[in-house]
Amino acid sequence: MNALVLDERTPHSVPSVARIYWLETRNEFLRMLRTPMFALPSLLFPLVFYVMFGVLLNRGSGGMGSYMLATYGVFGVMGASMFGFGVTVAMERSQGLLRLKRALPVPAGAYVFAKTGMAMMFVLMISLSLIALALLLAKVTLTPAQAAMLVVINLLGTLPFAALGLYVGTLCGANGAPAVLNMIMLPMAFLSGLWLPLSMLPAWLQKIAPVWPSYHLSQLALKVVGGDAGQAVGLHVAALLLVTAVFAVLARSRLAAAA
Amino acid sequence: MKKIQEIGVLACLAAALGGIAWWSGRADTVEATGNSFAVKDVRVFDGESFIERATVVVRDGRIEAVGADARIPTGARVVDGKGKTLMPALIDAHTHNWGDAQRDALRFGVGSELEMMGAAQSLPGYRRHREAMRRTDEADVWSSGAAVTVPGGHGTEYGFPVPELKPGEDADAFVRARIIEGSDFIKLMIDDLHAYGGTQRMPTLPRSQIEASIAAARRQQRMSVAHVAAQDDALHAVNAGVDGLVHAFVDQPASDGMIAAMKANDTFMVPTLSVIAGFGRSDISARLAEDPQLQARLTAAQKASLRAQFPPAFPTQPKALDNAIESVRRLHAAGVDILAGTDAGNPGTAHGVSLHGELALLVRAGLTPSQALRAATSRPAARFGLKDRGRIAPGLRADLLLVEGDPSKDIQATRRIVTVWKNGYAQSADAPAAGQAASIQDADRLVSDFDGGDLSTRFGSGWQAASDSFMGGKSGAETRWTAGGAGKSKGAMRIEGDVAAGPAPWAGAMFSPGSGPMQPVNLGARQAITLKVRGTPGDYAIVMLHGEGQVAAVPIQVTGDWKAVRVSLAQFAGADLARVSAIGISNSRIGHFQVDLDDVAIE
């Protein structure tokens, strides 16, 4: 009897895999949205910088408004992805939360999936706000197709930086992670031409710009608004996939070792 | 994963990204900036000869590659050159620059101008401009600065003070002063007007000072060039070692002795056929102003300047153009270097556009289109040491001119301008619109009947005595009211003065119809100037100042008896009636004169 009852209840008490993924993602997003230390800089920095450099300091150059729409979008992607992964993973590791999650009957992939979804939600918010600012304040002309392409590129661009952030999170402690991430992110953004057009940097820095993953993502975004350096799409995509794969593999092996 | 493996994977990633950066650099891509582009499948005139089909690549304002197989970098903006011809931006080897000169020049594809006398204070600005690679809408200028001339000589008559080489003064010190001011070369003024066949004379450099100045320039490593009008003066300058003559002489075609001397000394000539056409009062320049191919880029001021003629008092030499063209034909056939120059800044010329007219005149004088284009590109660059221009070759500045058609077959194709690039930046095409001058009131017809006992006018800003003195001449005139006008009216205006010999002598009186002196008004709706006149018998002229200060004149006969004169405004050939700043009467005969005017009206 008892066994029968148990058998009847089992299918109902175990939620569907999709629901687990959804709940994990939703809760991760809400948790991060309610963490001002993460949410405010991630959401506001790209927007404030765009208003400063793309609108206020931009003396009548229409091209600058659309260039910076693309590059500050990528900057937003880097912040949300790297910090969203790196800092939280580092904290959860040092607090033992990661070990607790392992012990729970949750599919292993849901943890990474939720964080990726959270980061993409932030990226979506940043992208849409930037597009609104560009249209309203910088008087950038953008077709709906261009706007949609920018959003898609930014969303997919989350993956390589999420992988990089995740790897840093497995390396550093909770206190060290934000510092290390900043040390990586800020110079890389600058050297990729995200803050100022690459043409304003010294020639040798322009030459080595393609070593940075953010350069490749920004070139894809710039292709949409017509300000890229004219390299093949495949080259940029290959570089980004390589970065994603390498850091994902490294992070996975570190997480496995940590468990 | 072991630590060592992890480091290995990271190292591989770094190597891969480095490889991508290396490959990107090698893959020859350009930032899509404003001064990088390529023109493909275009006919190229490279400054020397034509290449039927080639690609020209420009990166960061400089030409990177030229040739049938030049590779276009990925991402470069590409201009389709099919059916078009790409050539170096032109060089005008004789100009005088002020106002919009450099802008007008560049709009017509003239990227560099060689100024043959100008204000010394402009020299540092010229230098800075031509050394920069930034975006600009102005041509570059090399200049002689102040010329070597004597008190009262050519170059002193334009109303601004110029240094003068006085008798017995040291030419070496004079030339050194020019070089310190920043002169790029030394220009000598050798002209006493005897080439024009009249009796009028003007002071000029004595031969000893000519020789000393040329020698001084050579010692101080500067080129010397000479303004000449007469063949005997030209021959002397050539034998004294001058590097170039910057006019063809107008009194006779080049003699065999002249040809031999120029060949022996490797002297070049800038014949300036464009300005010489005006000495015989030809309409060659006025026709340029009508050319439909040029209209879009011409300003009203340029058209007015093209239509302007030398003032009636300026010596006329009807055979000037024929003589000059024949000289060019002979000198060119003998292998003497001919350079294209216009003397833009003078009546009958306009910056930029006149060089296209000069090319056609050079072809008329026996140069092939290709030789004429050389004379306006690689030859002046080589002669004047302009190292980074005048040719389409790797490393040179991307000052380029793209035209429709094939100028090797029809030199007038240079007028069908598609795009002009300066420092690699494409220029906008259209001429800036000129300001519209106000019209005068419909009722304002009678200017003065002089019946009120003074020289007052019904509108405008009054009568003024005027003469060549404001341009440095020695003539003068006075105006006053006099009793007893035409047809027993109460009074008239008397103009009395003296005309003294000079390059362009005249004296008379002018009326400004605008609300302020020399404020232009639109007389487009009016028909004629009418007046009554008597005075010292002879030829006078009703003159009009129009456009940007150009002069148009219609000759009239004056006798000792009152006579009604009607001058139709249509008689002022080429005048910009939409912008008239003054009308008046002028006398150019040397000596004392007196002329009375009454009942002056603009109908």
HEC readout, B485-500: CHHHCCEEEEEEEEEC
Contacts of B29 in chain A (CB under 8 A): 229-231
Q: Is residue B35 part of a domain?
A: no
Q: What is the pLDDT of residues B288-311, one digit of tens each?
A: 999 999 988 998 889 989 988 887
Regarding whether B443 and B374 lie in a shared domain, the answer is no
Q: Check residue B26 and give its pLDDT.
A: 61
Contacts of A210 in chain B (CB under 8 A): 17, 20-21, 24-25
Q: Is residue B74 part of a domain?
A: no
Q: Residues of B near A (CB-CB distance < 8 A)?
A: 1, 6, 9-10, 12-14, 16-18, 20-21, 23-25, 27, 29-33, 73-76
End-to-end Cα distance, chain B = 103
Regarding whether B528 and B407 lie in a shared domain, the answer is no
- HSE (side-chain half, CA atoms, 13 Å) at B245: 39
Q: What is the mean pLDDT of residues B155-169?
A: 85
Regarding whether B443 and B421 lie in a shared domain, the answer is no
Least CB–CB distance from B21: residue in A199, A208, A232: A208
Q: Identify which of A90-99, B128-137, B291-300, B378-387 has the greatest average pLDDT.
A: B378-387
Q: Residue B128 sits in a domain of what CATH number?
A: 3.20.20.140
**Is A210 within 8 Å of B31 when comparing Cβ atoms?**
no
- Per-residue pLDDT of chain A in tens (259 residues, 90 and over written 9): 444 444 554 555 667 888 889 998 999 999 999 988 888 989 999 999 999 888 887 655 556 788 889 999 999 999 999 999 999 999 888 888 888 887 888 787 888 899 999 999 999 999 999 999 999 888 888 889 999 999 999 999 999 999 999 999 999 888 899 999 999 999 999 999 898 888 778 878 888 889 999 999 999 999 888 777 767 888 899 999 999 999 999 998 888 876 5
Q: Check residue B31 and give its pLDDT.
A: 47
- HSE (side-chain half, CA atoms, 13 Å) at B340: 34
Last residue of a domain, one of B379, B402, B426: B426
| Residues spanned by the domain of B203 | 84-426
Given a contact cutoff of 8 angstroms between Cβ atoms, the answer to whether B487 and B477 are in contact is: no
Contacts of A250 in chain B (CB under 8 A): 1, 6, 9-10
Assess whether pLDDT exceeds 80 at residue B547: no
Q: Check residue B572 and give its pLDDT.
A: 86
Cα separations (Å) of B433 from B82, B101, B302?
31, 16, 12
Regarding whether B219 and B93 lie in a shared domain, the answer is yes
Of B472, B526, B461, B459, nearest to B500 by C-alpha is: B472
Regarding whether B361 and B257 lie in a shared domain, the answer is yes
Chain A segment 182-211 residues within 8 A of B by beta carbon are 198-199, 206-211
CA of B46 to nearest chain A CA: how many angstroms apart?
A: 28
Regarding whether B472 and B399 lie in a shared domain, the answer is no
Regarding whether B351 and B482 lie in a shared domain, the answer is no
- HSE (side-chain half, CA atoms, 13 Å) at B433: 3
**Interface residue A239 vs chain B (CB under 8 A):** yes
Given a contact cutoff of 8 angstroms between Cβ atoms, the answer to whether B375 and B88 are in contact is: no
pLDDT band at B430 (very low <50, low <70, confident <90, very high): low
Residue that is written with structure tokens 């940590």 in the block = A258
Q: Output the CA angle B65-B68-B74, nearest 5 degrees.
A: 55
Given a contact cutoff of 8 angstroms between Cβ atoms, the answer to whether B314 and B504 are in contact is: yes
Q: Check residue B506 and give its pLDDT.
A: 87
Q: Check residue A110 and give its pLDDT.
A: 87
Last residue of a domain, one of B426, B450, B475: B426
Q: Is residue B56 part of a domain?
A: no
CA of A213 to nearest chain B CA: how many angstroms apart?
A: 8
φ/ψ of residue B68, rounded to 5: -60, -30
Q: What is the mean pLDDT of residues B45-69?
A: 92
Q: Identify which of B16-25, B247-256, B432-441 has the greatest average pLDDT.
A: B247-256
Q: Is residue B356 part of a domain?
A: yes
Query: Where is A119: in which H helix or E strand?
Result: helix A108-136
How many distinct structural domains can be found in chain B?
2
Rounded CA-CA distance B478/B496 in Å is 5
Q: Check residue A1 and give its pLDDT.
A: 44
Angle between helices A108-136 and A62-95 (to 10 degrees): 150
pLDDT band at B241 (very low <50, low <70, confident <90, very high): very high
Regarding whether B325 and B444 lie in a shared domain, the answer is no
Lowest mean pLDDT among A202-211, B403-412, B469-478, B538-547: B469-478
Regarding whether B311 and B204 lie in a shared domain, the answer is yes
CA of B25 to nearest chain A CA: how many angstroms apart?
A: 6
Q: What is the mean pLDDT of residues B424-440?
A: 69
Q: Is residue B467 part of a domain?
A: yes
Q: Check residue B32 and give its pLDDT.
A: 44
Q: Is residue B76 part of a domain?
A: no
Q: Is residue B285 part of a domain?
A: yes
Regarding whether B416 and B375 lie in a shared domain, the answer is yes
Higher pLDDT, B464 or B149: B149
Q: Is residue B396 part of a domain?
A: yes
Amino acid making up residue B549: G
Beta-carbon contacts of residue B300 (< 8 Å; ≥ 6 apart): B434, B547, B576, B578, B579
Assess whether pLDDT exceeds 60 at residue B53: yes
Least CB–CB distance from A231: residue in B1, B6, B75: B75
Q: Residue B587 sits in a domain of what CATH number?
A: 2.60.120.430
Regarding whether B378 and B493 lie in a shared domain, the answer is no
- Output the average pLDDT for chain B: 90
Rounded CA-CA distance A160/A155 in Å is 11
Rounded CA-CA distance B438/A255 in Å is 84
Q: Check residue B46 and give its pLDDT.
A: 95
Which tokens is B278 given? Answer: 């005006």
Regarding whether B121 and B6 lie in a shared domain, the answer is no
Last residue of a domain, one of B388, B403, B426: B426
CA of B387 to nearest chain A CA: how many angstroms apart?
A: 25
Contacts of A235 in chain B (CB under 8 A): 20, 23-24
